[in-house]
Amino acid sequence: MVIAKYYLLLWLPLTGFITHAQTNSSAPGIEMGTIVYGNSIKEKDYIRKLSSGTSHFSGSLTTSYYGLNLERTFFNDRLGIIAGARYSNSISSVGLTGFFHRHFDYFYLRISEEGTTTTYLKTQQLKQVSHYLGIPLEVRYLLFNSRFTRLYFKVGSVFDFLVKSKNEVDLAVTTSSFDLENTAANKLGTPDNFCPSLYGGIGLRLGRGAPLFNIEITLPSVQLNSNYSTLINPHAGGGLRLMFQIPLKTKK
């Protein structure tokens, strides 16, 4: 809730600027991109790790996204402000990896504990797939204007809202019990409903007039909510974004 208030304080002045500043041009666009996050595995008391000389416990966190946006430019097309709508798909996983990793390596997942009886499942991988709808807000500063290319820096933020999350448990042994697998999956929990992020980067705009093609390196990208995944602690990440735009002439 505190994070949301800070974002609102940042959003309102920028919204006022967009409304009253003199626009040079507008450009609707489509985007797609991927971000890979550095990470550490969250400590869970229901996971019992096994030490092995050939494999080790590791995690991964990757987010892919697709969206529609609108860029408005100011000050002779040197400053650009982008807002839009974005769908993102985040996949986090925890499992055993290694050069000599074998399919029969496993760790234990505790699913119940009643009195002196504790039930574990032999597990190879835990996976969480989360779907978000987000509102990206970005500011670009274009450094120079050559005939066909423009280099720019960008800073931005995305307000992501959780739509759906699904947990998957890859068991080391085959079971016909759907209830058992469902119980194991529910053990992993659900990410928070609101997960904002901040990012920076550099990009290159190709083309003159219409259309425009942008290729960008996003670095760093930082999740502000540690419960973006219930399996992984997200650290700073980086990735690639592609954007296709059609500039529209706007009266100066």
Give the residues across from 69 on adjacent strands: 29, 84
| C-alpha span between 142 and 204 (Å, rounded) | 9
> Per-residue confidence at 39, pLDDT binned at 50, 70, 90?
very high
Alpha helix locations (H) across 117-237? Answer: 178-186
More confident residue, 178 or 116: 116
| C-alpha span between 49 and 109 (Å, rounded) | 9
3-state SS, residue 5: helix
Q: Which of 3-12, 143-152, 220-229 has the highest mean predicted lDDT (pLDDT)?
A: 220-229
**Could you tell me the domains of the chain?**
22-44+58-93+128-167+189-249 (2.40.160.20)
Identify the helix (H) or strand (E) that includes residue 66: strand 56-74
pTM of the model: 0.85
> Per-residue confidence at 11, pLDDT binned at 50, 70, 90?
low
> Per-residue confidence at 32, pLDDT binned at 50, 70, 90?
very high
Q: Which positions ≥6 away from 95 have C-beta within 8 Å?
A: 57, 58, 59, 124, 125, 126, 170
Position 100, amino acid: F
* Per-residue confidence (pLDDT) for residue 210, from 0 to 100: 75
* Per-residue confidence (pLDDT) for residue 21, from 0 to 100: 57
Q: Which residue has the tokens 């990410």?
A: 191
Give the residues across from 214 on adjacent strands: 205, 243
Q: Residue 71: is its pLDDT beyond 60? A: yes
| C-alpha span between 142 and 102 (Å, rounded) | 50
